[in-house]
Amino acid sequence: MAVRQQSFSVEYQFPVIFCRGVFNLDNRVLVDIVSQFEPRRRHRILVFVDDGVSSARPSLSGEIMTFAERHAHTLELVAQPITTSGGETVKRGLDAVIDMQKLMVEHHIDRHSYVIAIGGGALLDAVGLAAATAHRGIRHVRIPTTVLSQNDSGVGVKNGVNLFESKNFFGTFAPPFAVINDYDFIESLPPREKRSGIAEAVKVALIRDGAFFSWLEASTANLARFDADAMSYMIRRCAELHMHQIGKGGDPFERGTARPLDFGHWAAHRLELLTDFSLRHGEAVAIGIALDAQYSVLAGLLDAGANARIRAVLLGLGFSLWHPMLEAEAENGSLLIQGLRDFQEHLGGELTVTLLEGIGTGVEVHEIDAPLMLRAVDELKSRAGAK
């Protein structure tokens, strides 16, 4: 028997830019990104826009076309911006992804062209998957338009859609070519959408940066009224912490079982499914954070005073920390606890759940005491005053 060990490394780099007015005619951010490797070439671009963004900003399509005309020496807009369903609709199976790829074929989008996605995390996931699997990888520029996508998912390296009743079953790890966080898109969001994304800042602060959590604590009132300066700093710092974990955490493509950035998420994913996504992702994450923090106290990992601080911040931001589906049961027991088994199956190895042993310090555990977790549910219900 002959064995040859193949070994090579690939360095990934992509810029994450924080700005305003990406399609203002004198803003060269997008032009400079597209032309950075081939400055003398005219680059073909295909643009997909979240229908929610188009509704909130009807002038956007015209802005993009005017911008492309102004910079026609660099940009060739191959079609009018294509409005696409956002939210969980675009992630239900592969139909939307295949439709996007048909357009890529129709407009001769190749590996030197660019696919630009403008929208929330779900649209970025679907367009990213279409781009990553067409021609084995087309350059993909993300322009996130929600708090959640600007401070978390948009700066990550994952793409995917839901399939076989499993969240993100069909997907890839494929870094984007660039990410442009334009804060102007955030200002047009409804309050519920703005609030939802702040949960990810609380999450990453709790597991990685106690000083950032203290800032969130001191800035709760400003964030609750969506003060522009507070929101822009929160988004930038949250994105930086996510980028550091992905880039320096040693497992950017999640080959192991640890998922520190999924603190509070095993329960959140379950609640999203149990509520048929009537709960926003961030709303479910806020509940998941409160639940896992409460369990951390009961398990002797976290001081109860810290747990009280966490609840105060989440409540001050306007989150509800209770939902009746936490108590939902089937013949074989708690539907919530079944979510732990689903989470382990998703990991593909031993169960690994991030809990807290201090503000800013996460800890990985490999066992969850189901009765103790159900006690945490009861205590969460009691503190919420639910009946």
Q: What is the pLDDT of residues 195-215, one digit of tens each?
A: 999 999 999 999 999 999 999
**pLDDT, mean of residues 233-243:** 95
264 & 183 share domain = no
Q: Judge if 169 and 257 occupy the same domain.
A: no
Least trusted range by pLDDT, from 5-19, 256-270, 370-384:
256-270
- Which positions ≥6 away from 33 have C-beta within 8 Å? 15, 17, 141, 177, 178, 180
What is the pLDDT of the chain when averaged over all its residues? 92
| Residue 4 domain flag | no
pLDDT at 349 over 80: no
The proportion of the chain whose per-residue pLDDT surpasses 90, expressed as a percent, equals: 75
Q: Flag whether 240 is in a domain.
A: yes
Nearest in space to 204 (alpha carbons), one of 239, 175, 158, 255 = 239
pLDDT, tens only, 121-161: 999 999 999 999 999 999 999 999 999 999 988 998 899 99
Q: How confident is the model at residue 370 (pLDDT cuts 50, 70, 90)?
A: very high
Which residue, 135, 157, 187, sits at the end of a domain? 187
164 occurs within a structural domain: yes
The whole-number pLDDT of residue 40 equals 85
pLDDT of residue 251: 67
User: Would you say residue 88 lies in a domain?
Assistant: yes
Mean pLDDT of 174-184: 96
From 187, 211, 229, the end of a domain falls on 187
Domain that residue 163 falls in: 16-187
Q: Are residues 24 and 84 in the same domain?
A: yes
pTM score over 0.95: no
Is the model's pLDDT at 342 over the cut of 90? no
* pLDDT for 348: 65
Kindly state whether residue 314 falls inside one of the protein's structural domains: yes
User: What CATH number should be reported for the domain holding residue 105?
Assistant: 3.40.50.1970
The CATH code of the domain that includes 349 is 1.20.1090.10
Residue 317 within any structural domain of the chain: yes
How do strand 43-50 and strand 114-119 relate by DSSP bridges? parallel
Residues 215 and 161 in one domain: no
Residues 295 and 373 in one domain: yes
Per-residue pLDDT tens for 246-304? 887 766 766 765 676 789 999 998 999 899 889 999 999 999 999 999 999 999 999 99
**For residues 356 and 365, what is the distance between their CA atoms, to the nearest angstrom?**
10
6 within some domain: no
148 and 237 together in one domain = no
Query: Over the stretch 43-52, which tens digit does the pLDDT of each residue have?
Result: 999 999 999 9
9 domain-assigned: no
200 and 183 belong to one structural domain = no
The answer on 69 and 145 residing in a single domain is yes
Virtual CA dihedral for 141, 104, 125, 9, nearest 10 degrees? -60
pLDDT in tens, 66-120: 999 999 999 999 999 999 999 889 999 999 999 999 999 999 999 999 999 999 9
Q: Are 225 and 261 in a shared domain? A: yes
Q: How many domains does the chain have?
A: 2
Asked if residue 358 and residue 212 are part of one domain, the reply reads: yes
Q: pLDDT category, 385, cuts 50, 70, 90?
A: low
- In this prediction, what percent of the chain has a pLDDT beyond 70? 96
